[in-house]
């Protein structure tokens, strides 16, 4: 498994608000970085809500946006999916479709993540 570059990890943590006190664990990215042509990927799952977040690293915004288009053509295996791009980072979020609180949290994360930085 290839993680994003170490220099990007503080930015990824801030964009996902990992310091908010909610328990989370690192999981395998689905799909993998190789499947999307990304330089690296890292994925998390929160303990208190059925949310999976995967962040992929690309060379720039345009490469990430191109991969976003390919990713959005896929369907989440179960639940609702959202994507967002921030600079060369692509976010793929999946949550249970029958959990209104999780869906609301997806929208919060996407809103915080969006941008062309």
Domain that holds residue 90: 6-113
Give the pTM: 0.89
1 domain-assigned: no
CATH of residue 28's domain is 3.30.200
106 domain-assigned: yes
The pLDDT tens digits of the residues spanning 57-87 come to 999 999 999 999 888 877 656 678 889 999 9
Residue listed under structure tokens 């190789």: 34
For position 24, what pLDDT does the model report?
A: 87
46 domain-assigned: yes
Torsion sign (Cα): 95, 41, 66, 113:
positive
- Where would I find the H helices in the chain? 9-16, 33-36, 61-72, 100-113
Total domains in the chain come to 1
90 domain-assigned: yes
């Amino acid at each position: 498994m290839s993680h994003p570059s170490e220099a990007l990890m503080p930015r990824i943590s801030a964009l996902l608000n990992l310091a908010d006190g909610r328990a989370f664990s690192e999981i395998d990215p689905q799909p993998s970085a190789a499947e999307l042509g990304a330089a690296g990927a890292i994925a998390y799952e929160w303990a208190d809500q059925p949310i999976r977040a995967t962040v992929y690293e690309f060379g720039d915004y345009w490469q990430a946006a191109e991969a976003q288009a390919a990713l959005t053509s896929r369907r989440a295996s179960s639940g609702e999916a959202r994507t967002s791009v921030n600079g060369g980072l692509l976010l793929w979020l999946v949550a249970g479709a029958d959990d209104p609180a999780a869906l609301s949290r997806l929208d919060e994360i996407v809103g915080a993540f969006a941008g062309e930085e």
